């Protein structure tokens, strides 16, 4: 097992280097000279020159790459081009709010989706099943933007049940007051696709031979669904969940933006608008690294959950 | 084929042939028959086809080509709400601070930074006067300022007068009269929402289709090569794939958008297409791996078929249905992505209308109680995406029906 | 071995000789099952059949694929999918005075696993992969007998021991994927008998297992049946298996019962033509007619043709067409941090193939026999060894050089459903090799050749325009054979080519292969696990085990006087059928 982990870590290195290369090519090569980008945003010419020097814009590319690598390893990307805040500080402080929304959202969404998927699979083929699926399909086709706009307008602005936007200082206040509507919207948006997917996983299991054996043993349909099938369906569900974690962090960026929640997603949008390259580069690289590790974690979880798997 | 059969009959001595020769149905014929019997699928297909026709007509300039013209009053309400609404609208509008006019191009950018703040500003400014937000069109007793609405929206009236007087001043042709209501309302500048929606569908569908084709093509070719050849070729592609996959999709798009300074439809298509191939790659690679081990491919090897022949002549027809379904799924995803991108201002340029930009404008308008642009864009998008999704499901079922339950012997 | 013999004769002697009496445990009357295929079409799988399952006896339900035997067994416990199957309400399955058809589901569940149990064909997928063996056993105990905790565990271990699982205290905590196929099937049986059922329904329980394991499982079931006085309903397509174990036989075809009765009567004096045909089609171990009888011979009443014996054997003076020396093939997989693990599939195999003769290659799964065939075709690259054909080593040639020789040695695969490209028409399948190798001057010439070959393999010419899915398994194998013939090969490798076919179809394809060998002088390497078939068609037989050759001899010799212990073990596992059982009983 430990040999497997070590080998996987070893294999991760080329991928990480690849990501670094990708970001580098994008921002240093395609993006080019920041002076061009920053003209019009920063009026202070000295500041622009500083930035150019730090990046090593006039130096050959491999030197620039070296600078970039050093930045990654020391986690020091300098300062944001627009706010002058240290990039590392930005990342650290924004992580908290993102997680405050993300964690409860993921837990609730998964539990509800699994429960509904099992219930719907239980009555598969019936009118309820088809109705729910149609509702999901229609729900999926409405852009998240619309949900945000409408919910914000109706529940926060008109009915006043939630604050329209903002973020507080205390964790409890954040969790229950400011995060509620965002979480609600997040639920609505993520349950639809998850339900469809999990339903497929569950239905795949229901058609397996071992379900027939369980019936031949006299096991009740309820027990078959909640114990036999669920335990098997949990394998693809969990792996799917784990693989999707890193994108969740950013997937809520629209919500963060609209509700002015100071999280990583909102930071990314602001950075893109302002062409704030260091911030974007830093976030991209670290999120990619997190994804790679999460994938390894997903594989290990898969092994823990599925007795058939032999990791070599 | 039919002629061969006929020739066969001629050359052989006449023997009573009991087997009638019918051309066997191929996969696509069978699939089409199954699809035809699926009512939901057919309805969805028709809806999608209508949208595509709309896109073609709109792209050719046959309809909605004048979407940009300000044919109605600002915030003109939908016709079906009646003329009361018209009065209410003009009154509400008159309550707005005049200082809000900003040059068209830059407008989007500044909105994007802090939309709510902008609204709050307006509300604060408008608090003293008639509360526009509390007055949904057609309901409140609006101040009876029923003066002609033309006055404040036609600053070039004097110019028009000059033109009519034959002075030949070069000026933008502005319609003299602007309507009080439009079929489904007007936006901030009085542009027809219906036309904008149609034009917006052109953008979304075109971008969706083009990027989906690009991404599917890349994913298929990469996946086929990786899955078929295996070993170091597979390793190389897998490295490439995992690099792209490690960066969450939306982040990748935003990063590329940040870097590419020129905006344009082609840019959007490239962004979406060059980053969205990973799902198709993974699927096609798995399919090619699976089929490569199948006996019919081994048999093709045994009879001497080359690698290229095996890949494209033998295996591809067996996976083409997977490719088609993936393409369909991607179209839906890309339409949604394009809307989000355009909303944020990273998508199509401002002179091209997209449902995303409509939603952007709608955001502000909602506070003022103008809901029609929001509803139009939302409904159009929902109908298209729902129809496409249902069609994709029907397509998948038609191409690969799995026997439900066990009908063993 | 003595114990086995004693057990077998005990089985044979206790075989019933009387017709079922009135007190049947289960009475099936007028069972009718219809399937709904789509909105407009229905298919009647079982057309109103009646039979009895008496107490303490084994009833064999025999039929080929499509006969409706599995559907019947599933219907007994109400396990047919409700979405698309309909059991006619006038059907009766009477057990304990109650009609199981139409019984409320809660009562049916109480019977399942407790009174009537069932085991299935594929043990790997029939066991839940994510729960341990013990968990699954304890579940059925808790459900029907109310046993929990330590009592349940103790009983589970007992049952595992009874079905022959070694070290049951350890194995009880294993997951199904950690057990072999035979052990998995034993676990299934354990789950089925844990609550002392009165009836065990076994749906093709040994079809997916190796021959030696099959024998063990059959013995186990027979044992359990006797000791516990259970009734067994045994579903199978293999008449030889039936002959060994059945008291009563029910023969089904196309949803109807063709014949039923006491085993002795059915085997020795069958009334129905289909039953007669079925019994005779299978290659017998003691006879080798020039042509195998086929169903048609009996259906049309003409009786079998060409029953004279065919002599087989290899003489030292026979010319050799292929000389294989020290063939080896290893597969490598990653192990540990940087290491590789080597799996030697084929070790040091040497043999000679005489021209115009058949070399049979027998072994169980994992013996390496298939790998030998694939390596000779260069579909896998050999790790070592040579294969001399016409003076040149086929394995050492570059791929380009080998192209010229590719057409000389061809292969017919096992799975007729996977070896033809589903998107090609038969015509395209046949013409492609000719195009690649430049056979035939024009496309018309190639088409004509294709028609000729279709005729030769016994398919109508119009097949040229059809797709593979329109043909049955046997017909597809013929197409595969025709495909090989387009290139006029010298050597044909038949890799389990008839194993997936029904008995009646198998006979037809074997006859076809023999005809072609007689006409064209082809040399065959016939790979199979079915010893009776191999004996019938081969001149010389090579036995393989774990990648190595165990024994090579002329086919008659090797069956009469097997030298090596593994060969003897293999031969002893062949179900002897009714004749064999009787012979042993009389010893």
CB environment A235-267: b (16+ within 10 A), e (fewer): bbbbbebbbbbbbbbbbbbbbbbbbbbbbbbbb
Integer Cα distance of C352 and C329 in angstroms: 18
More confident residue, A40 or C472: C472
- On the question of pLDDT at B12 being above 50, the answer is no
Q: Which helix (H) or strand (E) holds B296?
A: helix B295-303
Q: Which helix (H) or strand (E) holds B390?
A: helix B372-399
Average pLDDT rounded to a whole number, residues C577-583 = 62
Report residue C489 CA to chain centroid gap: 28
- Closest partner CB to A141 (pick from B246, B340, B381): B381
Residues 6 or more apart whose CB falls under 8 angstroms from that of C464 comprise B4, C425, C426, C427, C430, C447, C450, C451, C454
Between chains, do C84 and B1 touch, taking CB under 8 Å as contact?
A: no
Q: Using only the alpha carbons of chain B, give its radius of gyration.
A: 29
Task: Provide the pairing of β-strand C248-253 with C256-262.
Answer: antiparallel
Average pLDDT rounded to a whole number, residues A62-69 = 78
B-C CB pairs within 8 A amount to 106
* Least confident among A8-17, A84-93, A103-112, C35-44: A84-93
Distance from CA of B3 to the nearest CA of C (A): 12
**Nearest CA to C58 among C217, C266, C226, C175?**
C226
Tell me the pLDDT tens digit for each residue of B238-282.
Answer: 988 988 888 887 788 888 777 776 677 888 888 888 888 988 999
Measured between CB atoms, does B367 come within 8 Å of chain A?
A: yes
* Least confident among A110-119, B165-174, B282-291, C356-365: B165-174
Q: How many CB atoms lie within 10 A of CB B362?
A: 27
pLDDT at C188: 94
% chain B with pLDDT above 70: 65
pLDDT at B127: 45
pLDDT at B15: 37
Task: Please say whether the beta carbons of C272 and C259 come within 8 A.
Answer: yes
DSSP symbols for C472-522: -HHHHHHHHHHHHHTT--SEEEEESTTTTS-HHHHHHHHHHHHHHHHHH--
- On the question of pLDDT at B179 being above 80, the answer is no
Task: Please say whether the beta carbons of C533 and C498 come within 8 A.
Answer: yes
When the pLDDT of each residue in chain B is averaged and rounded to a whole number, the result is 72
- On the question of pLDDT at B9 being above 70, the answer is no
pLDDT at B100: 35
- Residues facing residue C256 across a β-bridge: C253
Integer Cα distance of A55 and A38 in angstroms: 14
- On the question of pLDDT at B114 being above 50, the answer is no
- Chain B, residues 25-54, CB within 8 A of chain C, namely 26-27, 37
- Chain A, residues 30-89, CB within 8 A of chain C, namely none
Tell me the pLDDT tens digit for each residue of A77-118.
Answer: 777 777 767 777 888 888 888 888 888 888 999 899 999 988
Tell me the pLDDT tens digit for each residue of C81-120.
Answer: 888 888 988 899 999 888 999 889 999 999 998 999 999 9
Integer Cα distance of B377 and B162 in angstroms: 39
Q: How many CB atoms lie within 10 A of CB C309?
A: 9
pTM more than 0.95: no
Q: Which helix (H) or strand (E) holds C351?
A: strand C339-354
The gap between the terminal CA atoms of chain A, to the nearest Å, is: 8
Confidence of residue B154 (pLDDT cuts 50, 70, 90): low
- Closest partner CB to A220 (pick from C109, C118, C188): C109
Confidence of residue C187 (pLDDT cuts 50, 70, 90): very high
CB burial class (10 A; 0-12, 13-18, 19+) of residue A301?
A: middle
Tokens of C270: 């069958």
- On the question of pLDDT at A286 being above 90, the answer is no
Chains contacting C (3+ CB pairs below 8 angstroms): A, B
Task: Please say whether the beta carbons of A199 and A120 come within 8 A.
Answer: yes
Average pLDDT rounded to a whole number, residues C18-26 = 65
Nearest chain B residue to C427 by CA distance is B1
Average pLDDT rounded to a whole number, residues B352-360 = 87
pLDDT at B156: 57
pLDDT at A35: 66
Confidence of residue C72 (pLDDT cuts 50, 70, 90): very high
Confidence of residue B94 (pLDDT cuts 50, 70, 90): very low
Report residue C366 CA to chain centroid gap: 16
Nearest chain C residue to A7 by CA distance is C337
Task: Please say whether the beta carbons of B355 and B302 come within 8 A.
Answer: no
Distance from CA of C83 to the nearest CA of A (A): 9
| CA angle A110–B254–B359, rounded 5-degree value | 75
* Least confident among A225-229, B133-137, B159-163, C394-398: B133-137
Residues 6 or more apart whose CB falls under 8 angstroms from that of A200 comprise none
Measured between CB atoms, does A125 come within 8 Å of chain C?
A: yes
Task: Please say whether the beta carbons of C468 and C447 come within 8 A.
Answer: no
**3-state secondary structure at position C243:** helix
Q: Using only the alpha carbons of chain A, give its radius of gyration.
A: 24
- On the question of pLDDT at B315 being above 80, the answer is yes
Task: Please say whether the beta carbons of C262 and C248 come within 8 A.
Answer: yes
Nearest chain B residue to C463 by CA distance is B21
Range with top average pLDDT, B2-6, B242-246, C537-541, C555-559 = C537-541
Phi, then psi, of C301 in degrees rounded to 5: 75, 5
Between chains, do B242 and A141 touch, taking CB under 8 Å as contact?
A: no
pLDDT at A160: 79
pLDDT at B60: 80
When the pLDDT of each residue in chain C is averaged and rounded to a whole number, the result is 86
More confident residue, A187 or B188: A187
- Closest partner CB to B8 (pick from C379, C420, C451): C451
Integer Cα distance of B10 and A72 in angstroms: 79
Helix axes B355-367, A144-151, angle to 10 degrees: 0
Tell me the pLDDT tens digit for each residue of C447-503.
Answer: 999 999 999 998 988 889 888 988 888 899 999 999 999 999 999 999 998 888 888
More confident residue, C7 or B177: B177
Tokens of A46: 């000295």
| CA angle A116–A120–A121, rounded 5-degree value | 115
pLDDT at A215: 93
Distance from CA of A251 to the nearest CA of B (A): 7
Chains contacting A (3+ CB pairs below 8 angstroms): B, C
Tokens of C241: 């298996």
Between chains, do C418 and B23 touch, taking CB under 8 Å as contact?
A: no
pLDDT at A218: 92
DSSP symbols for A124-181: TTSHHHHHHHHHHHHHHHS-HHHHHHHHIIIIIIIS-SS-SS---SSHHHIIIIITHH
Phi, then psi, of B111 in degrees rounded to 5: -60, -40
% chain C with pLDDT above 90: 46
Give me the residue label for tokens 């036999």.
A228
Tell me the pLDDT tens digit for each residue of B370-401.
Answer: 788 888 889 999 999 999 988 888 888 887 76
Give me the residue label for tokens 């050597």.
C491
Give me the residue label for tokens 């798009």.
B253
Report residue A190 CA to chain centroid gap: 12
* Least confident among A58-72, A253-267, B157-171, C150-164: B157-171
Three-state SS string over A14-65 comes to HHHHHHHHHHHHHHHHHCCCHHHHHECCECCHHHHHHHHHHHCCCCCHHHHH
**Nearest CA to B72 among B372, B339, B379?**
B372
- On the question of pLDDT at B149 being above 50, the answer is no
- Closest partner CB to A251 (pick from B247, B250, B359): B250
Confidence of residue B316 (pLDDT cuts 50, 70, 90): very high
Integer Cα distance of C393 and B398 in angstroms: 50
Measured between CB atoms, does A233 come within 8 Å of chain B?
A: no
Confidence of residue C313 (pLDDT cuts 50, 70, 90): confident
pLDDT at C18: 47
Distances (CA, A) of A75 to B3, C80, C249: 74, 62, 79
**3-state secondary structure at position C101:** coil
- On the question of pLDDT at A230 being above 60, the answer is yes
Average pLDDT rounded to a whole number, residues C258-264 = 90
Q: What ipTM score was computed for the predicted complex, to two decimals?
A: 0.81
| CA angle C15–C19–C23, rounded 5-degree value | 105
When the pLDDT of each residue in chain A is averaged and rounded to a whole number, the result is 82
């Amino acid at each position: 097992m430990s040999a497997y982990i070590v080998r996987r870590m070893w294999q991760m290195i080329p991928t990480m280097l690849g990501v670094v290369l990708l970001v580098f090519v994008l921002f240093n090569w395609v993006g080019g000279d920041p002076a061009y980008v920053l003209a019009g945003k920063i009026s202070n010419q000295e500041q622009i020159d500083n930035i150019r020097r730090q990046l090593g814009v006039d130096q050959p590319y491999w030197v620039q790459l070296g600078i970039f690598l050093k930045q990654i390893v020391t986690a020091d990307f300098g300062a944001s081009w627009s706010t002058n805040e240290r990039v590392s500080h930005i990342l650290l402080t924004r992580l908290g709010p993102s997680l405050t929304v993300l964690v409860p959202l993921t837990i609730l969404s998964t539990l509800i989706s699994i429960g509904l998927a099992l219930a719907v699979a239980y009555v598969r083929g019936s009118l309820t099943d088809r109705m729910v699926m149609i509702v999901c399909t229609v729900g999926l086709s409405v852009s998240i933007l619309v949900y945000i706009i409408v919910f914000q307008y109706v529940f926060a602005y008109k009915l006043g049940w939630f604050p329209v936007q903002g973020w507080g200082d205390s964790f409890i206040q954040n969790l229950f007051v400011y995060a509620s509507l965002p979480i609600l919207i997040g639920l609505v948006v993520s349950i639809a696709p998850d339900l469809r997917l999990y339903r497929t996983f569950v239905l795949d299991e229901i058609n397996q031979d071992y379900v027939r054996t369980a019936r031949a043993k006299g096991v009740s349909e309820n027990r078959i669904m909640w114990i036999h099938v669920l335990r098997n369906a949990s394998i693809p569900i969990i792996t799917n969940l784990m693989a999707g974690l890193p994108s969740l962090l950013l997937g809520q960026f629209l919500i963060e933006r609209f509700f002015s929640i100071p999280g990583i997603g909102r930071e990314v949008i602001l950075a893109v608008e302002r062409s704030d390259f260091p911030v974007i580069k830093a976030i991209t690289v670290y999120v990619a690294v997190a994804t790679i590790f999460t994938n390894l974690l997903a594989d290990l979880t898969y092994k823990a959950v599925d007795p058939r798997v032999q990791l070599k | 084929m039919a002629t061969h059969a006929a020739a066969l009959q001629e050359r052989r001595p006449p023997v009573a042939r009991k087997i009638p020769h019918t051309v066997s149905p191929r996969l696509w014929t069978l699939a089409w028959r199954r699809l035809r019997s699926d009512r939901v699928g057919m309805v969805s297909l028709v809806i999608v086809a209508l949208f595509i026709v709309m896109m073609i007509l709109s792209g050719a300039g046959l309809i909605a080509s004048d979407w940009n013209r300000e044919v109605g009053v600002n915030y003109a309400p939908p016709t079906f709400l009646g003329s009361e609404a018209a009065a209410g609208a003009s009154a509400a509008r008159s309550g707005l601070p005049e200082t809000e006019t900003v040059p068209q191009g830059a407008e989007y950018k500044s909105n994007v930074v802090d939309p709510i703040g902008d609204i709050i500003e307006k509300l604060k400014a408008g608090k003293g006067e008639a509360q526009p937000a509390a007055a949904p069109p057609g309901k409140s007793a609006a101040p009876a300022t029923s003066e002609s609405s033309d006055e404040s929206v036609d600053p070039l009236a004097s110019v028009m007068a000059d033109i009519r007087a034959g002075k030949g001043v070069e000026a933008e042709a502005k319609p003299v009269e602007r309507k009080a209501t439009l079929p489904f309302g007007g936006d901030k500048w009085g542009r027809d929402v219906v036309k904008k929606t149609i034009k917006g569908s052109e953008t979304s569908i075109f971008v969706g289709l083009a990027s989906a084709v690009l991404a599917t093509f890349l994913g298929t070719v990469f996946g086929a090569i990786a899955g078929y050849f295996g070993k170091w070729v597979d390793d190389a592609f897998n490295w490439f794939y995992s690099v792209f996959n490690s960066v969450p999709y939306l982040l990748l798009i935003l990063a590329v958008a940040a870097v590419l300074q020129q905006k344009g439809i082609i840019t959007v298509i490239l962004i979406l297409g060059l980053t969205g191939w990973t799902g198709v790659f993974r699927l096609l690679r798995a399919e090619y791996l699976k089929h490569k081990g199948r006996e019919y491919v081994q048999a093709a090897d045994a009879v001497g078929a080359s690698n290229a022949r095996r890949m494209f002549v033998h295996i591809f027809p067996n996976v083409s249905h997977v490719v088609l379904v993936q393409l369909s799924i991607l179209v839906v995803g890309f339409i949604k992505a394009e809307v989000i991108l355009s909303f944020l201002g990273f998508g199509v340029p401002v002179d091209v209308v997209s449902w995303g930009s409509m939603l952007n404008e709608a955001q502000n308008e909602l506070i003022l109680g103008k809901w029609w642009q929001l509803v139009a864009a939302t409904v159009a998008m929902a109908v298209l995406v729902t129809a496409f999704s249902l069609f994709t499901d029907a397509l998948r079922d038609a191409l690969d029906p799995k026997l439900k339950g066990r009908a063993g012997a | 071995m003595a114990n086995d013999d004693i057990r077998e004769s005990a089985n044979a002697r206790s075989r019933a000789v009387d017709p079922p009496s009135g007190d049947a445990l289960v009475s099936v009357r007028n069972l009718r099952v219809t399937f709904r295929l789509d909105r407009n079409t229905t298919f009647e799988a079982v057309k109103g059949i009646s039979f009895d399952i008496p107490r303490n006896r084994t009833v064999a339900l025999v039929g080929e694929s499509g006969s409706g035997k599995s559907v019947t067994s599933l219907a007994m416990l109400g396990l047919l999918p409700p979405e698309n199957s309909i059991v006619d309400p006038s059907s009766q399955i009477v057990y304990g005075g109650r009609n199981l058809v139409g019984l409320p589901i809660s009562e049916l569940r109480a019977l399942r696993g407790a009174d009537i149990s069932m085991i299935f064909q594929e043990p790997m997928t029939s066991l839940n992969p994510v729960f341990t063996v013990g968990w699954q056993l304890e579940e059925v105990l808790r459900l029907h007998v109310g046993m929990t905790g330590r009592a349940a565990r103790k009983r589970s271990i007992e049952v595992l021991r009874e079905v022959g699982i070694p070290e049951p205290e350890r194995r009880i905590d294993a997951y199904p994927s950690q057990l072999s196929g035979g052990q998995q099937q034993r676990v299934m049986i354990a789950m089925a008998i844990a609550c002392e059922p009165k009836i065990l329904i076994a749906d093709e329980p040994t079809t997916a297992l190796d021959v030696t394991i099959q024998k063990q499982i059959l013995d186990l079931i027979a044992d359990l049946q006797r000791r516990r006085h259970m009734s067994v309903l045994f579903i199978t397509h293999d008449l030889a298996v039936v002959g060994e174990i059945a008291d009563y036989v029910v023969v089904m075809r196309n949803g109807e019962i063709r014949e039923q009765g006491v085993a002795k009567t059915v085997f020795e004096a069958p009334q129905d033509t289909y039953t007669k045909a079925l019994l005779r089609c299978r290659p017998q171990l003691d006879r080798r007619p020039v042509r195998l009888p086929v169903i048609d011979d009996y259906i049309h009443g003409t009786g079998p043709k060409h029953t004279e014996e065919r002599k087989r054997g290899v003489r030292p003076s026979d010319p050799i067409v292929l000389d294989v020396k020290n063939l080896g093939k290893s597969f490598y997989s990653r192990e540990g941090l940087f290491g590789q693990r080597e799996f030697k599939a084929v070790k040091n195999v040497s043999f000679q193939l005489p021209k115009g003769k058949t070399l049979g290659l027998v072994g169980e799964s994992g013996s390496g026999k298939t790998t030998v065939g694939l390596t000779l075709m260069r579909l896998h690259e050999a790790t070592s060894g040579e294969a001399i054909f016409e003076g040149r080593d086929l394995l050492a040639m570059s791929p380009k050089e080998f192209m010229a020789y590719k057409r000389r040695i061809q292969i017919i695969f096992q799975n007729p459903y996977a070896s033809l490209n589903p998107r090609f028409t038969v015509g395209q399948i046949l013409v492609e090799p000719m195009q690649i190798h430049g056979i035939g001057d024009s496309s018309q010439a190639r088409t004509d050749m294709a028609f000729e070959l279709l005729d030769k393999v016994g398919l109508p010419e119009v097949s040229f325009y059809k797709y593979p899915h329109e043909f049955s398994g046997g017909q597809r194998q013929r197409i595969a054979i025709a495909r090989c013939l387009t290139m006029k090969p010298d050597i044909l490798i038949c890799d389990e080519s008839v194993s997936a076919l029904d008995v009646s179809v198998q006979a037809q394809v074997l006859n076809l292969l023999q005809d072609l060998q007689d006409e064209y002088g082809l040399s065959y390497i016939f790979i199979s696990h079915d010893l009776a078939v191999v004996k019938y068609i081969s001149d010389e037989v090579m036995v393989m085990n774990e990648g190595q050759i165990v024994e090579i001899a002329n086919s008659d010799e090797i069956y009469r006087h097997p030298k090596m212990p593994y060969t003897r073990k293999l031969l002893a596992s062949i179900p002897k059928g009714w004749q064999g059982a009787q012979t042993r009983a009389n010893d």
